[in-house]
Amino acid sequence: MAKLQPAINYTFYDPLGHNEPVDSPYEYIRSKYLRCPEKTNIVFRFQHSFRFDHNKLNGYSLNDFDVKAIITITNNRTGNCIYTKEIPLSETSGYEDLYLPSIEIPQGFYTAKLSLKGVVNGVSNSSKLDVLKWLMYNPMVYLHLNSVIIDNRNISIPNNSSDADTKRLTFISIA
């Protein structure tokens, strides 16, 4: 029976039971581990909100800074990055969603990482760096598991009305 109906060993989970942050004034990183059997396809939904008080830009504009989210999936055994996507962030009026194309992931263990990075465009100075530090606290970004298909079978992803602890395991957040 096991050969006819093999177990699906798919998980998306926090390292060491919690999401360990890696933070600096200009970069925030959150990650989760991903264990995939053969023939795994995942669709992620990237969701973000970037609103701020323009008066706190001290005369600068958002064009003076480059703030972006970076999504990477890396094989833990080989260190090879199998997927990367950079998403430049611009001001939003609320939450905006971006559905990423289906990613085919070979069997193995991976780290799915969501990074928020900011740099000064042009000449940098202490005033611009202070504004960038403040600006980096404003984006709220999430990487949601939208759908998982393993060997042509849909894997159930808890929805918003599901148990909160289970739902928490279906996304990575920097907020």
Q: pLDDT tens for residues 28-42?
A: 999 999 999 988 999
pLDDT > 90 fraction of the chain, expressed in percent and rounded: 68
**Could you tell me the domains of the chain?**
21-144 (2.60.120)
Q: In angstroms, rounded to a whole number, what is the distance separating the alpha carbons of residues 123 and 118? A: 14
Alpha carbon distance 112, 76 (integer Å)? 10
Taking only Cα atoms into account, the Rg of the chain, rounded to an integer number of angstroms, comes to: 18
Give the CA distances from residue 143 to residues 8, 72, 80, 127, 172, in Å, rounded to whole numbers and listed in that order.
23, 11, 21, 32, 5
Supply the pTM of this predicted model.
0.88
